[in-house]
Amino acid sequence: MRITLLGAGAWGTALSIAFAGKHELTLWSREEDVAADLLASRENHRFFPGYKLPESVAVATDFEAAVATAELLIVATPIAGLRPTVERLKAIGCTLPLLWVCKGFEAGTGKLPHQVVTDVLGQQALCGALSGPSFAEEVAAGQPTAVALAASDPAFAREAARQLHTARLRIYANDDLVGVEVGGAVKNVLAIATGVCDGLGLGLNSRAALMTRGLAEIARLGLALGADRQTFMGLAGMGDLILTCTGDLSRNRRVGLALAENKSLPQILEELGHVAEGVYTAREVDRLSTQLGVDMPISAAVAAVLDGRLTAAAALELLMARDPKEELA
């Protein structure tokens, strides 16, 4: 299959490496300097150093030309780049099947990725999300990984999963697009909370409680948006939550660790050097859960800390002071 990856950040580069042995790939970069570096050294020193891009992967900066040769497109930008990218696709009349790997709610609109795509391309677009417990570094290194490929068209989800499945990157089809996207979005917020918990030295009991109650928050919001509860027990729910809350490669967890040190958010993001989607998603989750009447105290606490309304320690005190309730209510 001829695949074009739109976005030469960490994920675009990692997936190019992962799929290179099976498919004909083009990696499109918006940044001329990144493309030049990839062509000269076969390494993405700016966004993904340490991993060589196979010689078989073409590198392009001409958007229309890169898209014209493809049978499948994969958008590998942060969620802030999703709308501009699909708007460019619409402008050139592209109707190719489309996947995305971004996770979160769009800042300002509070929309999930599939809603953004539908806004621009309409309901008829053949599209879906690739999501689950996966760090780009480990995918590029060929470490065994399993993710979900979700689409509202089950036949497309099954066929795309079959085509992209490799010995090292196992891909499972899923028809609950809302659930997969909600799981992928909210787990980043909870990873910030877990980072705060670990940074404050609260112990493993606290971490386990936080993750478990966080999963309940994910499920409550997902169900309110029409998701299937079972999805949150799978790769894009519990699986992604466990990885992002405990893995040292998690950018969102690192944000939480830094917040526990009382660092300012601008300082944290500058030191991080990459997008941590949970920072922007927390505000949208807090706004959406309030609008829908969904109880999400951990997510609300994270939003308050990020906005400077609470310190990490004060947020913890508020959470611990909540009245007792039935666990599964």
Dist. CA 73–CA 184, nearest whole Å: 20
Longest dimension (CA), the chain: 60
C-alpha 80, offset from chain centre: 11
- Cα dist from 55 to 6, 14, 21, whole Å: 18, 14, 11
Residue 52 appears among annotated catalytic residues: no
Q: Which of 52, 90, 111, 187 is catalytic?
A: 187
In a 3-state reduction of DSSP, which class is residue 305? helix
Element of type H or E holding 3: strand 2-6
141: number of Cβ within 10 Å: 15
- Cα dist from 285 to 106, 110, 124, 136, whole Å: 10, 8, 27, 25
C-alpha 125, offset from chain centre: 21
Dist. CA 193–CA 306, nearest whole Å: 11
- Concatenate the DSSP letters of all residues of 106-158 into one string: -TTT---HHHHHHHHH-TT--EEEEESS--HHHHHTT--EEEEEE-SSHHHHH
Dist. CA 98–CA 100, nearest whole Å: 7
Catalytic site positions: 187
